Each structure stands twice: as C-alpha cells, then as structure tokens.
Amino acid sequence: MKEKDLKTFTEVAASKDPVPGGGGVSGYVASLAAALAEMVTNLTIGKAKYIMYTSELEAIKREADILRNNLLDCVDKDAEAFLPLAEAYKLDKNSEGYTEKMDECLKNAAIPPLYILKYSCRIVDLDERLARIGSKISVSDAGTSVMLAQGAMYGAFLNIKVNTRLMADKEYAQNLEDEALKLLDEYSVKALNVYDDVCKRLS
C-alpha cells in the first residue's frame, strides 16, 4: 500500500475496496505530519539565529524521519490485519471456535491504529518544541503538522474502537480503549496548545 503514488492511493481510498480505510488513511496523514516536522528541522538547521539548537534539531530530525517511515509501515500493517478480519466476518457465528477466531482477528486489527495513535502523539511532542525553536519562516509548517497529527489521532482512535466494541474479551477491549482514550485526551489538548503557540509566533 505504501508504495502506491499519491493519486493511486487516493483513488483506492475513494473506491469500494475496504483498504485503505480510516486506519490506513490516518497512518498516511500522520506520516505527512512527521514529514512536515522533519522539514522544519531542515529549514532551521544551519541558520545562525538558531545555531544553539543544532543538536536538538538534529535529534528531532532523526526521530521525525523514523516516525514517518514507521507510520508508512502502519498503513501496510493496517491493510494486512484487516484481511483476516474480513474473512472472519464471513464465518458462521455458530461454528466451533468462531468467537476465539473473531477475537484474535479483532485484536490484531486494533494494533496498527494503536501504533498510529502513539506515533501521532509523539509527533505532537516534537512539534511542541519546533513551535519554539523552529525557524519562524517554517513554524507554520509545525502548526500544520500538529493539526494533521491531531486528526490522525482521532482517526486512529475510531479505528481502535470499531474493533474493541465487537470483542468478546471485554476486559481486554476496555483496557485497550482506556489506554487509547487517555492518550487522545492528553494529546488533543496539547496539539491545540501547540497550534496556539504557533499562531502567537506568527502574530
């Protein structure tokens, strides 16, 4: 999936094909958020005004690059995890082992969006710092990045919840939802604060 060009990716997303769905698209959006964060570092490193932040910017650059690639991997993993689930939906609900098979598929399908959520939260952390030490001419990109990351977080959470709601293992489902919701609550607020910081720098 990640090898598709942008036009093809959007065409497939717009089609009747089940993947990429909300999870894969959230991963792709988050990868773009990471790319913008990395771009801010590239536009800031080497400028005399920000020379004292060089080491920190280089560390952020490396991490943003890792996040970008990890998120692209999540796009593929999300698609791969959905295929067995799609087959499980076709099984006879009264057949032996149905509940166990379905739960296994649902749990596997919830893993990629959980990682997308976690990676997106980390992008918000990076943008929080870039909003303050990034070059002023590129700080709007940090603001764009953080809003993309926030959108990806919400999309990822919905794609966790769409799986947990059907799990027979209610304790596992609740723990997973609680973990995801805690991150979403914390980082959705942080993302808006970062956005406000960017707006203030641009005032």
Architecture field, domain 19-201: Up-down Bundle (1.20)
- This prediction has a pTM of 0.93
Per-residue model confidence as pLDDT tens digits over 122-162: 999 999 999 999 999 999 999 999 999 999 999 999 999 99
Domain assignments of the chain as residue spans, ordered by start = 19-201
Reported as a single tens digit per residue, the pLDDT across 104-113 is 999 999 999 9
Residue 13 CB: number of other CB atoms within 10 A?
A: 17
Indicate the burial class of 182 (C-beta count within 10 angstroms; 0-12, 13-18, 19 or more).
exposed
The percent of residues above 90 in pLDDT, for the chain, comes to 80
